[in-house]
A and B are shown apart, each in its own frame.
Chain A
Amino acid sequence: DADVTQTPRNRITKTGKRIMLECSQTKGHDRMYWYRQDPGLGLRLIYYSFDVKDINKGEISDGYSVSRQAQAKFSLSLESAIPNQTALYFCATSDLASGRTGELFFGEGSRLTVL
């Protein structure tokens, strides 16, 4: 089983719908992240969380919200999806040691298409 699991792996939805992407991890890491990948733009940070009570905005948080339900769970929500949120979304984790050097552990991605 994957250490960092994302659900769903693929989702097609319509403009205006609410969407939640979920991430769970078994690595025991305290830090979790949501990134968005677009062709030609690399990965951009949406939100990150150092622990259950700590949530921080990344560089492209507008239109997104997150919830850290437990140390092992970090979900990303799109309250009202729009077509330019069509992208590949990655959850990642790190602990204090790996996070200090920037090493992240990624899930397999959730491909979201907004029509």
Chain B
Amino acid sequence: AQSVTQLGSHVSVSEGALVLLRCNYSSSVPPYLFWYVQYPNQGLQLLLKYTSAATLVKGINGFEAEFKKSETSFHLTKPSAHMSDAAEYFCAVSESSGYNKLIFGAGTRLAVHP
């Protein structure tokens, strides 16, 4: 069965500092991997996705993530945090073989302070 583990339910960084949000997955078949972001009082929106092409994936708002099969990881990074990056971030996995439902991690709330 597939699963996703996000390390750290809360992460706090200073404005301008590196953002690193960790995600590890478990899947018996090649996965598709996603990061979604949820801003306050809004629905989730796709930040970036890995679908078996390039292992380094670039998303919106300067975020990127690297798929590392050997480490079963898909960590999200941004070189320099903005106040506007404060939100909750969800890692998710689905199986690449045909349709399968998305399995979400528990989420990481990112706080950015001046």
Contact = CB atoms under 8 A, between A and B. Distances in A.
Interface of A: 4, 33, 35, 40-45, 48, 58, 90, 92, 99-104, 106-109
A100 B99 contact: yes
Interface stretch (B11-19, B42-50, B61-69, B76-84): B42-50
Contacts of A104: 44, 46, 102
B14 to A, nearest CB: 25
Interface of B: 4, 9, 32, 34, 41-46, 49, 51, 90, 92-94, 96, 98-102, 104-107
Nearest to A2: B43
A101 B102 CA distance: 9
A108 B41 contact: yes
A42 B43 contact: no
A40 B9 contact: yes
Contacts of B41: 108-109
A58 B9 contact: no
Given A4-B43, A35-B104, 17 more contacts: A33-B101, A44-B104, A90-B44, A92-B44, A100-B99, A101-B94, A102-B49, A102-B93, A102-B102, A103-B34, A103-B46, A103-B49, A104-B44, A104-B102, A106-B45, A108-B41, A109-B41
